[in-house]
Structure 1
Amino acid sequence: MKIKHWLATVAMCSTLVLTACGGSNNNSASAPAQSGADKIYIVGTNAEFAPFESRTADGSLTGFDIDLMNAMANAGNFKVQFKDHPWDGLFASLNNGDLDIVASGVTITEERKQSMNFSDPYFDISMMVLTPKTKNFHSLAELNNMHRVAVATGQTGDLAVQKVLGAQSTKIARFDSVPLAIKELENGGVEAMVSDGAVISNYVKANGAGKFTINKVPEFGIDHYGFAVRKGDTETAEMLNEALKKIRASGEYDKIYAKYFSN
C-alpha cells in the first residue's frame, strides 16, 4: 500500500472511531435524557391477594390496586408497567431500584417507614380471624390456646399474630400466600387463620361461606394501605398523592371501590 493511501486510511478510521464512541466531536448527537413525562414507573405487585391483586383466567392482572393505579396514572399523566413478583422480595426489589412503586396491599407501619416512603393511605383495613364453621371463637386471647395459627409470611396478619403469640412462637404456621394458608385451615392442619378482612371475605365468598366463620376482632384496630416507594423518593410519593386526590375528587375512586367491595 502506498504511504499516501495508508495515511488517508488511518485518518478515515480514526474519524470513524471517534464518531462511534461519541468522542470529542462536538457535532455528535448524544441520546437525550429521559424526561419525567416519558418515564415508565415499574409497579411491583404480588398477584395472590384478591381482590386487591390477582390474575384472570387468561393470565391478566386484575384487582382493586391494579385498577386504582391505572386510574391514577391516567389522571396524573404518568405511565406504569406492572411486574408480578413474590411477596417476600417486593421490598428488596424496590430498594435496589428494580421497582419504582409497590402496589400490593401494603399496610403502612412505623417499622416499614424506616426503610421506605409511603403515599397517603388509600384503603382502610382490619385484621380478622378465620375459623372452621364448627369452631367457636370469642376473643383474641384464644389464639394462645391453639396449637397452630396460619398466616401469610411477612404480611400484616403475620405481624399481628406475632404481637399475640411472640415473633418466635412455634404455633405460627407461615405460608407463601393467603389462599395456601386458608387451604391449610380447610384441611384441618391449623385451627385458625389471620389476615386482612377484605381478603378473607373475598376468599370465603368465592369458596363457600358454609365452611368458615369470619371473626371480627376489635383489638386489632384499623390499619391503612399505602403505595410504597423508595426511602427518600418524595417526588414519586407526591406524584401518587396528587393523582389519588384527583380520582377521589372525580368520583373514579368510588367507582373502582364499588366494583370490588359492593355487597
Structure 2
Amino acid sequence: MKLINYKWRQLILSLSCLLLIIGCTNLYPTSNQDIKLLKVATDPTFIPFEIQTASGKLEGFDIDLMNALAKVVGFAIQFESLPFDGMISTLEAKRVDAAISGITITAERLKTIAFSRPYFKAGLAIAVRENNHNIKNFNTLQGKKIAVQIGSTGADFAKTIPNAKISTFNSGPEFFQDLLNGNVDAVVSDAFATLYAIKNGKLKGIKVVADLLTQEYYGIATPKDSPHLKKINKAIASMLSNGTYKQIYQKWFNAEPPQLPES
C-alpha cells in the first residue's frame, strides 16, 4: 500500500512539473514561436515604388517586395511614412528597423547605415518640358535652374553641374509641378519613377531626355549591425531564384528584370 502511494505521489509530482513547464512556455514563448514585428520607414510619394491610395493603403513595387520578403522570413511589417530626407537619421537613431524607398546604395551612406544586397537597378535621368529642345544631355544643364529632391542622389549629382541654380523639394510631385510652371528648367531624378509617371498620364507635358546620367542600385537600408540583415539578404536571394521577384517586377514595369549583383 505504501509503495503504491509513493508511486502515485511521484506521478502527481511529475505531472505538476510538466504543467508548470507548459504554463511557463505559454507565458514566455520562445523566439521561434514569436512573429517579429519589423518597423519599416517609407516615403509614400515615390511612385511607383511607394503609393498611398485615397483610403490610406500603401501600394507599390517596394511595398509588394517588402510584404513578400516578410512572408519568407516570418516578419510582420509595420510601415511608417517618413519624408525621404529624414530616413538616414531615423535609421542612425534606430527608431525603425529598416527603410525602403528607392534608397541608393552609396559609399557615403554606408559610413553610417547598412544596406541589403541590391534589389533594384536604377539611374538618374533629366526631365524637361516637352517644348524644351535646348536641354539634351549633361553638358546642356550648365547654368540652368535644376530641381531635385532633398537628400537624394539627384541632389548630390546636381552639385556637379557647373553654375547650376539648384532648387530643393520634399517630393517628386512638388518639383515636377515647379517644372511645369516654368520655375525651373529641368529636374534630375530617378528615371523609373519619372518614366512611370509619364506613361500613366500623371506628368503631361514632361519628357525624359538623353540616356541615364548614372547607374545606381537600391538596397533595403538598416541600422548598422542590424540583427535582421542576414535574413533580409537570404529572403531577397530566395525571391530572385524562385520567381517571386520577377512577378513583382513585371507587375509594376511590364518588363524583364535585369541581373542584380550580390553586393
User: TM-score under structure 2 normalisation?
Assistant: 0.81
Q: Note if 1:198 corresponds to 2:192.
A: yes
Q: Deviations over 1:42-93 (max 9, x none)?
A: 0000100000001112110011000001001111222211111122211222
Which residue matches 2:15? none
Q: Which stretch of the first structure deviates more once superposed, 107-116 or 95-104?
A: 95-104
Q: Find the partner of 2:53 among 52, 56, 64.
A: 56
Q: In percent, how many aligned pairs have the same letter? A: 32
Q: Structure 2: any 5+ residue segments left out of the alignment?
A: 1-23, 256-263
**How far off is 1:163 after superposition?**
2.2
CA RMSD between the two structures = 2.1
- Corresponding letter in the other structure for 1:129: I
Match of 1:158 in 2: 155
Structure 1 residues 43-52 or 200-209, which shifts more?
Answer: 200-209
- 2:136·2:210 contact (CA, 8 Å) conserved in 1? no
2:64 to 67, 89, 92: 67
206-215 or 188-197, larger mean C-alpha shift? 206-215
Tell me the equivalent position of 1:255. Answer: 247
**Matched length:** 229
**Which residue identity lines up with residue 214 of structure 2 in the other structure?**
G
Question: How much has 1:217 moved relative to structure 2?
Answer: 3.4
Shift of 1:208: 5.5
Q: Which residue number corresponds to residue 141 of structure 1?
A: 139
Query: Could you give the per-residue CA deviations for residues 129-151 of structure 1, whole angstroms, max 9, x where no partner exists?
Result: 001111122220111131x1111
Change (3 A) 1:250 1:138: same
Of Structure 1 and Structure 2, the greater helix share is in 1
Question: How much does 1:160 deviate?
Answer: 1.3
Q: 1:210 to 1:56 in 2, by over 3 A?
A: closer
Instruction: Give runs of aligned pairs for residues 169-208 of structure 1, distance below 5 A.
Output: 171-207=165-201
The verdict on how the C-alpha distance between 1:85 and 1:177 changes in structure 2, with shifts beyond 3 A counting, is same
Q: Deviation of residue 209 (structure 1)?
A: 6.2
* Secondary structure of the structure 1 residue equivalent to 2:66: helix
Q: How many Å apart are 1:186 and its aligned residue?
A: 0.5
- Secondary structure (helix, strand or coil) at the match of 1:145 reads coil
Residues 1:238 and 2:238 are matched in the alignment:
no
CA contact (8 A) 1:179 1:203 kept: no
The one of 205, 218, 221 aligned to 1:228: 221
Q: Distance in 2 between matches of 1:129 and 1:94?
A: 30
Distance in 2, matches of 1:34 and 1:87, equals 36
SS in 2 for 1:150: strand
Amino acid in the other structure paired with 2:168: R
Whether contact under 8 Å (2:137, 2:210) holds in the other structure is no
Q: Following TM superposition, by how much is the alpha carbon of 1:33 offset from its aligned partner in structure 2, in angstroms?
A: 8.1
Letter in 2 for 1:127: L
Taking the aligned partners of 2:156 and 2:114, their CA distance within structure 1 comes to: 19
Partner of residue 106 from structure 2, selected from 102, 106, 109: 109
Distance 1:245 1:192, change over 3 A: same
